[in-house]
Structure 1
Amino acid sequence: MYFSPLPSVQSTLSNASFALRFDMDSFEQQDFETHGLSFPAKLDKAVPKRRAEYLAGRICAQHALSMVGVNDFQVHAGQDRAPIWPKNVLGAITHSKGLAMAVVIGASAHKGIGLDIEHFMSDKREHDLQKHLLCDQEQAQFKLLSHVFSHPLTLVFSAKESIFKALYPSVNAFFGFEAAALIEFNDTQLRFEITKSLSDLVPKGTQVTVHYQQFENWLLTECYV
């Protein structure tokens, strides 16, 4: 599988991040062996696109881990599909339409980190998905955001995906988009409030700041808790 690094795409939360652009159509099964990665049995029935995305994400993870001195470690997935990172390391992986990225940080100061890349949705898709992604509590802020950002729902969706990844280790359960509400924003950050108790570690009222950046027709969001 052909891929090329994207050094211009960098995390704002960690010095250890790696992004790449990959060609899904050039994927071959032997690419796992070529990159020194074992093929997970749970992907036996997966389509080539899913296998290529998994491989690209793990290549990014290997590069990001090497930046913090962790080598020869494969980031496998647990039964819940969440990546399993080395001890004392927190990380996140994302991929979307031929782009992949991974970021890692030390676990001592944080409980989780979230990362998400999204390609801009069409205007129609943004309109159609609003009722599924937004809660009543954030409608006013979302309206303000729509006046200053061209694809506001893509941004909020991506931010909530990052929040889910960051909070998952503290919740250990899936939760819906209504669990986080946008309460304020600026040119580089969005702030959300958790609308219901998700666990003892994540009570109702918990606030999470999501950092965002735009490149080409893509959005990158990230946060840690």
Structure 2
Amino acid sequence: MHITEQSPFTPILNYSFHSRAFDASQYQDDDYIYFNQPLPNKLQRAVAKRKAEYLAGRVCAAKAMIPLGITHFEVHSGEDRAPIWPAKIRGAITHSKGIAMAMVTDAENVLGIGIDIEHYMADKQELELQSQILREDENEAFAQLGQLHDKPLTLVFSAKESIYKALYGQVQRFFGFDAARLIDCSENSLRFSLTSTLHETLPQGFEITVFYQYAHNMVLTECVHLRQ
């Protein structure tokens, strides 16, 4: 499988990142050996596309950690499917239709990082999924966002995925799309408020800023949970 160093995005957050393009149609199991990554037992029977996505994400994670002085570390997944990073490292991995990215940091004030890449949803899909992703009390802010962008639901979906990744390390349990409410938007950021207390460091009303950018019919969202 071809995995080439390529990024349609330059993240706004100033942490170490690495992005790769990959062609899942050319995937073979030997690719894990070539890229010096272990094929997890739980993926042995997975379809080639899933194996390719996992591998590309782990290659990005390994490359992103090199500037932090970490080499040859294998980023496994826990039972909750979250990446298991080295001690004192916070990070996130994302992939979407042939693009993968990882972002990591060892900054002591960072409790979690979230990144997500999504290809644009079709208009019909945005309409069908709107009630699953949006709360009713987000309608006003969402209408404002719709005046700025043609694919507002894709953006909100991606932003809430990034929030989940950034906060999960503290929360350590599943929480849904309704846990964060869109309250404001600008040309490169969205602001959300937590609708309930998720953790002692994440009380109801806690606000989170998610940065975003578009490229090639994709959106990248990114956010960070900082120690207060």
**Do they fold alike, i.e. is TM over 0.5?**
yes
Structure 1 position 10, deviation (Å): 2.1
> In structure 2, what is the equivalent of residue 221 of structure 1?
221
Classify the secondary structure of the residue corresponding to 1:65: helix
Structure 1 unaligned residues grouped into runs of 5+: none
The SS at the match of 2:68 is: coil
Contact 2:18 2:61 in 1 (8 A): yes
Matches within 5 A, 1:28-177: 28-177=28-177
Give the count of matched residue pairs: 225
User: How far has the Cα of 1:107 moved from its partner?
Assistant: 4.2
Q: 1:37 and 1:7 mapped to 2: Cα distance? A: 21
Is the contact between residue 10 and residue 18 of structure 1 (CA under 8 Å) also seen in structure 2?
no
- Residue identity (%): 47
State the AA in 2 paired with 1:13. Answer: L
Residue-by-residue CA offset, 1:39-96 (whole Å, 9 max, x unaligned): 1111122111110000000000011001221111111101111001111111100001
One-letter amino acid matched to 1:153? L
| Matched letter for residue 71 of structure 2 | N
Alignment of 1:20-31 (within 5 A): 20-31=20-31
Number of the residue aligned with 1:4: 4
CA RMSD of aligned residues (A): 1.0
Alpha carbons 2:148, 2:187 under 8 Å: kept:
no
11-20 vs 202-211, greater mean Cα deviation: 11-20
- Given the alignment of the two structures, is residue 194 of structure 1 paired with residue 194 of structure 2, yes or no? yes
Whether the 8 Å CA contact 2:8–2:215 is kept in 1: the answer is: no
User: Would you say the 8 A contact 2:61–2:102 is kept in 1?
Assistant: yes
What amino acid does structure 2 have at the position aligned with 1:80?
D
- Report if aligned partners of 1:166, 1:223 keep a CA contact under 8 Å in 2: yes
Q: CA shift at 1:136, angstroms?
A: 1.4
> Using a 3 Å threshold, how does the CA distance of structure 1 residues 8 and 217 change in structure 2: closer, same or farther?
closer
Contact kept? 2:7, 2:21, Cα under 8 Å: no
Cα offset for 1:177?
0.4
Q: TM-score, normalised by structure 1?
A: 0.97
- Give the Å deviation of 1:200: 1.8
Deviation at 1:8, TM superposition (A): 4.7
